[in-house]
Amino acid sequence: MAICAGCGIDTELHELGVPICTSCISKRESSNPLLADLSLEITHTRDLYFKAMRALAPFQAPGERRPNGSRHGSEAMRLEDRAKIAGEKYWEALRCYVETLRRETGKSRSA
């Protein structure tokens, strides 16, 4: 177990390779509205991605019973497209958060 770089308590969480606890993350995000907004965007896009993947799962499992009344091929393609788009939005939200976090971390180090 590592020591949080912010407050010194034990933590298993790492952010950009630096050990940090959830309390310190919450404090940082509450003092930086942009990071808080980006964090909410990650949560929202992750939830949409997971929902899309759950909808697609029955079409990907070999031998599984398909949902009644669906045209397997076109329905599966539509759900795959939805999952792909949701995944791209999720990864973009993650990328924006990390980029902003790195920029903010760099500012605090040079100050």
State pTM to two decimals. 0.66
- 70 shares its domain with 45: yes
Q: What is the DSSP letter of 10?
A: E
- 26 shares its domain with 37: no
* pLDDT at site 109: 53
* pLDDT at site 110: 52
Q: Which domain holds residue 48?
A: 32-110
Sign for the CA dihedral angle at 91, 93, 94, 100 comes to positive
pLDDT: which is higher, 27 or 64: 27
pLDDT: which is higher, 70 or 3: 3
Helix, strand, coil percentages (3-state) for the chain, rounded to 5, are 70, 5, 25
pLDDT in tens, 46-80: 999 999 999 999 888 765 555 555 566 788 899 99
pLDDT: which is higher, 73 or 108: 73
Q: How many domains does the chain have?
A: 2
pLDDT: which is higher, 102 or 51: 51
- 43 shares its domain with 65: yes
> Is-contact 41 100, C-beta < 8 A?
no
- 105 shares its domain with 78: yes
CA angle 111, 102, 24 (to 5 degrees): 80
Average pLDDT, the chain: 85
